[in-house]
Amino acid sequence: MKPPAFEYVAVASTEEAVAQLVAHGDDARILAGGQSLMPILNMRLATPGRLIDLNRVGALSYIVERAGGVAIGAMTRQRTAERSELISAAVPLLAEALPWVGHSAIRNRGTVGGSVVHADPAAELPGVAVCLDARFTVRGEAGERTLAAREFFRGYLTTALAPTELLTEVWFPSAPPGSGAAWIEFARRHGDYALVGVAAVVTLKGSTVRQASLAVIGVDGVPVRAVDAERLLIGVPLSAESMAAAAESVRRTLEPHDDIHATAAYRRHLAGILVVRALTRAGERARLP
């Protein structure tokens, strides 16, 4: 058998899951969609003593409108989110990024919460969350707390979750009127982890940018919010010059690493190109009536 031996418990509620985490601490792992954890177990990169399976917790699977945004239960399958009319109307950036997550057979099992908690720096959903300032609801022994996306991702595959805490919900704000969003990524094959991906949202008044939000994945241990580039864009018309300046700022501030897939220099170059493309597309969409 491929995975190491473990004890297995399929919990029926969030409370049971937290109780299991409290009782078993670091030795336990939450099993959500399994599309990241199962490969890790099959390759024996992790040897948890106990798996806490959330797949029978129906209460963690929902997509609802709430507080000017959309709340998504952590166990909602990526495929369900991809097909949600509510998400596609209210959070178009998320709707555009979801089909890029793995392959359809992966998204049929993979969950929104699982992808976020796995925190792969080249994964789409953490990038979208950082771009949109999504909020994460986390349940622990002492009750619930809410974390902003930018404080949730701490480093490569590392989040602010305590070993006894469980992610229960991700909330994304609805796109404001006059805004346009775009997700663009480059990978060798569709469904591979992106070499670089860019999320862009711009809100226009006339041709002037009132708000801009840019996040880049695949270039650091966490999704990077390009705050300097955003500052260059806000208050001026969205033009070839302003987009080039934003791209130059992104190239200058990123510090990607070489790996077997691409050199740091190539990733930096690609990030600049994708920033311009994403801003162009987001701008076009913001101008649509």
Strands (E), the chain: 7-10, 28-31, 50-53, 63-66, 69-73, 135-140, 143-148, 153-155, 158-159, 166-173, 179-186, 196-205, 208-217, 224-225
Q: Which stretches does DSSP call E strand in 106-255? A: 135-140, 143-148, 153-155, 158-159, 166-173, 179-186, 196-205, 208-217, 224-225
Strands 135-140 and 166-173: antiparallel
Residues 6+ apart with CB under 8 A from 160: 147, 151, 152, 153, 154
- Name which of 100 and 136 has its Cβ closer to another protein: 100
Which residues face 29 on adjacent strands? 51
Q: How far is the CB of 265 from another protein (least distance, A)?
A: 27
Q: Which stretch binds another protein (CB under 8 A): 32-40, 130-138, 177-185, 279-287?
A: 32-40
Q: Is beta strand 166-173 parallel, antiparallel or unpaired with respect to 179-186?
A: unpaired
By residue count, the chain amounts to: 289
Do 74 and 32 touch, CB atoms closer than 8 A?
yes
Residue 7 as a binder of another protein (CB under 8 A): the answer is yes
Instruction: Write down the least CB distance from residue 41 to another protein, Å.
Output: 8
* 13 near another protein, judged by CB under 8 A: no
Q: Which is nearer to another protein, 106 or 244 (CB)?
A: 106
Q: Is 18 helix (H, G, I), strand (E, B) or coil?
A: helix
- Phi/psi at 232 (nearest 5 deg)? -65, -30
Question: If binding is defined by CB under 8 A, does position 53 make contact with another protein?
Answer: yes
Interaction of residue 221 with another protein, rule CB under 8 A: no
Q: Which of 192, 23, 72, 76 lies closest to 123, judged by CA? A: 192
Could you say which residues in the range 164-193 bind another protein, by CB under 8 A?
A: 189-191
CA nearest to 107, candidates 33, 193, 41: 33
Residue 8 touching another protein (CB under 8 A): yes
**Contact set for another protein, span 131-150 (CB under 8 A):** none
Q: Does 103 bind another protein (CB under 8 A)?
A: yes
For the segment 79-98, give every residue that binds another protein (CB under 8 A): 79
CB of 175 to another protein, least distance (A): 25
Query: How near is the Cβ of 111 to another protein at its closest, in Å?
Result: 13
The yes or no reply on residue 261 touching another protein (CB under 8 A) is no
Helical (H) or strand (E) element with 108: none
Q: According to the binding rule CB under 8 A, does residue 154 interact with another protein?
A: no
- Binding segment for another protein (CB under 8 A), chosen from 51-59, 163-171, 210-218, 263-271, is 51-59
Nearer to another protein, 48 or 69 (CB): 48
> Least distance in Å: CB of 189 to another protein?
6
Q: Is 106 in the site for another protein (CB under 8 A)?
A: yes
55 binds another protein (CB under 8 A): yes
What is the C-alpha to C-alpha distance for residues 80 and 109, in angstroms, rounded to an integer? 10
Q: Which of 13, 34, 248, 253 binds another protein (CB under 8 A)?
A: 34
- Residues near another protein (CB under 8 A): 1-8, 10, 34-35, 38-39, 41-43, 49-51, 53, 55, 79, 102-106, 108-109, 189-191
